Amino acid sequence: MILSIVFLVLFCFIFIQSWIFLLIMLTTMTLSCLLIMNQNFSYSLNMMSSNNTMSNLMLFLTVYLILLVVLATKSYSSMKYNCMLIMLLGFLIFTFTTSNIFYFYIFFEASLIPTLALIVGWGYQPERLQAGVYMMIYTVLASLPLLAMISILYSLTNTSDFYLLKDIYNTWSSISVVFIYLAFLVKLPIYSGHLWLPKAHVEAPLAGSMILAGVLLKLGGYGLVMMNMSFCLGGNHHLVTSVIISISMWGSLLASMMCMRQVDVKSFVAYSSVSHMSLVILGTIYQQSWSLSSAVVTMFAHAFSSSALFCLAYYTYEKISSRSLLYIKGFLSLFPMLSIMWFLFTCINMAAPPTLNLLGEMMIIPVLSEISMGMLGVMGVCIFLSAVYNMMLYLNVNHGKPSEYVLGANQLSSNQLLVLVMHLVPLLFILKTN
């Protein structure tokens, strides 16, 4: 199944220029992946790869969003650009299917290379070099302790298989748990390790922002899930998990406040991502079936809502050549279809019913009430602030006197509308949540 998906995507990239074929392929791939995911949580294993529900979900997310990137960025497609996307797709697929912890680390880090190339090669401003350096320093330095722990673990057990390690070695010190978690927490990112994300998003092209928000941030959540499933890290380390949960929840609150201070639309959406990913950290660290389900739902829903918001930011930039909320005004009267899409996706981002985002937030509430009523209060404030900053974003862009800096009155093209609608379709899985 995986090899067939890879072959179809490569064939589509290299030989097919028709977006109609892309749409047909996207639909076929979606239906096939849904058949795979329509099962209870399970996994199968061989010597090199694993097949579990989480991996299938992440594979679906990866291939679907890569195809949306192809649709959204046809205007500046080239052989080098397509090669970067193919390389990134290959690294991500191997990351989500390998059962070897060394290979997982290698492909986990290798996915940064094409992402850096997209930011530096196709970014808009000279500051893209600084953004690339920030991203590499934060993510690579945070993952070096993980490499050290993997090496030590291999020297002790003589195996690097995820599922064999669980039975062979389950004695971990608190500092070891911190080292293992750190690489994934910065990737998500947790507040205080997040500074690379707004810079990377602001300087990245549309493809970079879509892939970064939709898939690469989810690598951190996937890594936390796999490490906890394989090693049961947090079970005997309540102090470590309590500190991480506290930082993530208070970080979500601070990120929401920072979000309301942003002027750049892409930076606005980036801080919104930091706030939402804190719930994923909580769900994966707490290690209960209910919290894990909430984390997976939140990751899936956020992937499409944030990717769509970056698409909208880019389409808005095309109309006015600026991402500043000081200049973007009155789009409701000028571009009604674009305004409708802004309304839909800001509502989805604020977890308005009946969306998957709301389901993810509601599922985390019983977990928070079990941890602490104070945490539940912080969560309530975060939900309120999420509604506030999403309403601010929509009102700033679409209401008020139309901006005099608008370059033209061209409405959304059929290709752009298709990309936004295809972001919306997976979020309708709320109708099939069983």
pLDDT at 27: 61
pLDDT at 178: 87
pLDDT at 169: 63
Q: Of the spans 267-271, 281-285, 367-371, which averages the highest pLDDT?
A: 267-271
**Residue 247 pLDDT > 90, yes or no?**
yes
| 276, 232 Cβ separation under 8 angstroms | no
| pLDDT band of 48, cuts 50, 70, 90 | very low
DSSP 24-48: HHHHHHHHHHHHHHSS-S-EEE-SS
**Residue 28 pLDDT > 80, yes or no?**
no
Lowest mean pLDDT of 115-119, 240-244, 347-351, 401-405, name the range: 401-405
Task: Give the SS3 label for residue 330.
Answer: coil
**Residue where the block lists tokens 């997209």:** 118
| pLDDT band of 11, cuts 50, 70, 90 | low
What's the rounded mean pLDDT across residues 101-116? Answer: 92
Residues 6+ apart with CB under 8 A from 395: none
What's the rounded mean pLDDT across residues 215-223? Answer: 91
**Better-scored residue on pLDDT, 21 or 429:** 429
Q: What letter does residue 403 receive in the DSSP assignment?
A: P
Q: Of the spans 78-82, 119-123, 172-176, 401-405, which averages the highest pLDDT?
A: 119-123
Verdict on whether the full-model pTM lies above 0.75 = yes
**Better-scored residue on pLDDT, 329 or 13:** 329
**Residue 46 pLDDT > 50, yes or no?**
no
Q: In 3D, which of 285, 337, 288, 286 has the Cα closest to residue 316?
A: 337
| pLDDT band of 241, cuts 50, 70, 90 | confident
**Residue 415 pLDDT > 80, yes or no?**
yes
Q: What letter does residue 376 receive in the DSSP assignment?
A: H
Query: Within 13 A of 401's CA, how many CA atoms are on the CB side?
Result: 3
**Residue 14 pLDDT > 70, yes or no?**
no
Q: Of the spans 45-54, 337-346, 420-429, which averages the highest pLDDT?
A: 337-346
291-322 residues labelled b (16+ CB within 10 A) or e (exposed): bbbbbbbbbbbbbbbbbbbbbbbbbbbebbeb
pLDDT at 29: 58
**Residue 222 pLDDT > 80, yes or no?**
yes
Residues 6+ apart with CB under 8 A from 47: 99
pLDDT at 388: 96
DSSP 255-307: HHHHHTT--BHHHHHHHHHHHHHHHHHHHHHH--HHHHHHHHHHHHHHHHHHH
